[in-house]
């Protein structure tokens, strides 16, 4: 008999008392007006939508149960030390060039093994959602890390709306393909077969930690961080947290993923943060917590599953994590 232990973070909605609620009244009222107009067409929506708009504040409920109290990485580092290869390979390239990306209007195509395929506007996707703030650790495979206050909603809530069927064993994600506005996709030297792709096993995607971010530090996601909609999977290396998502596909087979396609011996499908499994070219035992400089390098020990083992270790019971790295 399998007895399912309820982890400490798996509280019902009623158990959680929001510690702080931040409301941007103007956007809230705009949302109410939009709901009133859309109401006759889409009656099932009751919540006030708040479509993320570049530079604007979002309303959210803080979720201390899902948040670390470690020092947050300053906004300047979060937004100026990025990996977004669609805009170049330098850490500052995304901040310099991501503004060229067009994020409005935005839609996401949902396809494959589900009952509700279709193309959904960003507004459709966020309309029934109450945003949460979760302060997660982000550990890059390159051995640096940050602590980021994300705004968004559980990926599981989004997935349920598309009614995946029993053949949906995996979910695949794709980033926008737009070489005209994404200079990295035009680059002759790029090794990535665009669009950038990622994927999760269905039970990983449904885990309560998997998060769809639309904002950080209280405001809509800056373009360099993956506006308007990105995945955040905090127990996996950062490259699993795909940015600027335009396609979600439910499928029976393991999806192809960008870094695994480039170097399968270096980047596996699972890519769980694991100090016991080194990258073939460097150690994964430690990480540089940003901000870090020449005088204060700020190296810290890396934790298995990035410190989220209590929440996710069960997903990998019986699996050889050296083989399925």
| Smallest separation, CB 16 to ligand MTE (Å) | 26
User: Could you say whether residue 106 binds ligand MTE (CB under 6 A)?
Assistant: no
| Nearer residue to ligand MTE within complex by CB, 31 or 131 | 131
| Smallest separation, CB 164 to ligand MTE (Å) | 23
Pairwise CA distance, residues 69 & 87, whole Å: 32
| Nearer residue to ligand MTE within complex by CB, 110 or 138 | 138
Which of 97, 131, 196, 269 lies at the binding interface for ligand MTE (CB under 6 A)?
196
Inter-residue contact 301 to 285 (CB < 8 Å):
yes
Which DSSP state fits 240?
A: G
- Please give the size of the binding site for ligand MTE, defined by CB under 6 A: 17
Backbone angles phi, psi at 118, to 5 degrees: 150, 180
How big is the chain, counted in residues? 325
| Nearer residue to ligand MTE within complex by CB, 57 or 290 | 290
Pairing assessment for the beta strands 211-216 and 230-232 based on DSSP bridges: antiparallel
| Smallest separation, CB 33 to ligand MTE (Å) | 32
| Smallest separation, CB 165 to ligand MTE (Å) | 27
Inter-residue contact 117 to 105 (CB < 8 Å):
no
Binding mask 108-147 for ligand MTE (x = CB under 6 A): ------------------------------x-x-------
Pairwise CA distance, residues 289 & 292, whole Å: 6
User: Could you say whether residue 242 binds ligand MTE (CB under 6 A)?
Assistant: yes
| Smallest separation, CB 41 to ligand MTE (Å) | 32
Pairwise CA distance, residues 95 & 101, whole Å: 11
Inter-residue contact 268 to 162 (CB < 8 Å):
no
The dihedral built from the CA positions of residue 17, 136, 218 and 199, taken in this order, carries a sign that is negative
User: Could you say whether residue 73 binds ligand MTE (CB under 6 A)?
Assistant: no
| Smallest separation, CB 205 to ligand MTE (Å) | 16
Pairwise CA distance, residues 154 & 269, whole Å: 21
Q: Tokens in use for 126?
A: 């966020």
Binding mask 222-241 for ligand MTE (x = CB under 6 A): ---xx-----------xx-x
Binding interface with ligand MTE (CB under 6 A)? 82-86, 138, 140, 175, 196, 225-226, 238-239, 241-244
């Amino acid at each position: 008999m399998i007895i399912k232990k309820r982890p400490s973070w798996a509280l019902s909605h009623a158990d959680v008392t929001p510690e702080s609620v931040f409301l941007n009244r103007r956007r809230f009222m705009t949302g109410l007006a939009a709901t009133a107009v859309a109401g006759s067409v889409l009656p099932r929506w009751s919540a006030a939508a708040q479509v993320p708009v570049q530079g604007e504040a979002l309303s959210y409920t803080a979720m201390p149960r899902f948040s670390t109290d470690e020092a947050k990485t300053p906004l300047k580092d979060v937004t100026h030390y990025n990996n977004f290869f669609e805009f170049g390979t330098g850490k500052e390239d995304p901040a310099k060039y991501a503004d060229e990306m067009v994020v409005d209007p935005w839609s996401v195509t949902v396809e494959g093994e589900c009952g509700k395929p279709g193309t959904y506007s960003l507004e459709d996707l966020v309309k029934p959602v109450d945003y949460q703030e979760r302060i997660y650790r982000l550990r890059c495979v390159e051995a640096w890390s940050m602590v980021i206050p994300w705004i968004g909603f559980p990926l599981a809530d989004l997935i349920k709306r598309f009614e995946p069927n029993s053949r949906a064993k995996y979910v695949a994600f794709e980033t926008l393909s737009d070489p005209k506005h994404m200079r990295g996709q035009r680059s002759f030297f790029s090794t990535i077969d665009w669009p950038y792709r990622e994927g999760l096993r269905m039970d990983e995607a449904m885990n309560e930690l998997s998060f769809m971010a639309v904002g950080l530090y209280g405001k809509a996601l800056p373009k360099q961080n993956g506006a308007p909609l990105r995945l955040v999977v905090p127990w996996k290396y950062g490259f699993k947290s795909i940015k600027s998502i335009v396609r979600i596909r439910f499928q029976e087979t393991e999806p192809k993923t960008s870094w695994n396609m480039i170097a399968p011996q270096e980047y596996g499908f699972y890519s769980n943060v694991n100090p016991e499994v080194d990258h073939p070219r460097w150690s994964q035992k430690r990480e540089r917590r940003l901000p870090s400089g020449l005088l204060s390098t700020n190296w810290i020990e890396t934790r298995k599953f990035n410190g989220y083992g209590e929440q996710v270790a069960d997903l990998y019971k019986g699996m050889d994590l050296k083989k399925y790295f």
